Amino acid sequence: MANLDVMHDLIDYPMYIVTAAADGDRAGCLVGFASPCSIRPPRFAVWLSTANRTFRVASRATHLAVHLVSRDTLALAELFGGETGDETDKFQQVAWEPRTGGAPVLRDAAAWFVGRVHRQADGGDHVLFLLEPVEESPPAPEPHPRIVMFHDVARLDPGHPA
């Protein structure tokens, strides 16, 4: 069975930080499996690894926040991609605020939106969270910042295996 390593070596795609809050717990992680998936109605798909804490919190949350990070704040991506919430409270190290549905929004993100969890679907070692956007950040200033892409963080040791 193919594992798509050749494809992954050739493509570069945006990396997102996804955050969630439920029942007094907060969590967030760096994800590469995410994409807009419908224009009308607007929908966004995020795939979360079942191995990490963010999945466990997100599965109980009504809303998730999805953030793009600029290369100027790469440390934010490194924190959410290289540390596990099982051992580190990442939110003690960053500026954030609760938004719709209690979703934690990172103030240093280049752009963000909060989405209501419309549906979940099992995909194997990742679960799809289909989001309906309900709130978004103001427009980014011109010129738009360069955002963190997969190859910017490919060297990170993940907080959890994918």
Residue 111: what are its φ and ψ, rounded to 5°? Answer: -160, 155
- pLDDT of res. 63: 98
**Backbone phi, psi, residue 30, to 5°:** -90, 130
Mean pLDDT, the chain, integer: 91
User: What pLDDT score does 159 carry?
Assistant: 63
Q: How far apart are CA 85 and CA 27, in angstroms?
A: 6
Q: Residue 161 to residues 6, 75, 136, 144, 155: CA-CA distances in angstroms?
A: 19, 20, 30, 32, 14
- Cβ atoms within 10 A of the Cβ of 134, count? 15
Map residue 7 onto helix, strand or coil.
helix
What is the reported pLDDT for 148? Answer: 92
User: What confidence score (pLDDT) does residue 1 get?
Assistant: 61
Model's pTM, two decimal places? 0.91
At residue 50, the pLDDT reads: 94
Question: What's the confidence (pLDDT) of residue 117?
Answer: 98
Percent of residues, the chain, with pLDDT higher than 90: 72
Q: Looking at residue 161, what is its pLDDT? A: 62
* DSSP class per residue in 43-102: EEEEEEETTSHHHHHHTT-SEEEEEE-BGGGHHHHHHHHHS-TTT--GGGSS-EEE-GGG
C-beta separation of 75 from 109 below 8 A? no
Stretches in the chain below the pLDDT threshold 50: none
Q: Please state, in angstroms and rounded to a whole number, the distance separating the CA atoms of residues 137 and 36.
A: 16
The pLDDT of residue 142: 84
pLDDT in tens, 128-138: 999 999 999 99
Torsion angles phi and psi, residue 18, rounded to 5: -110, 130
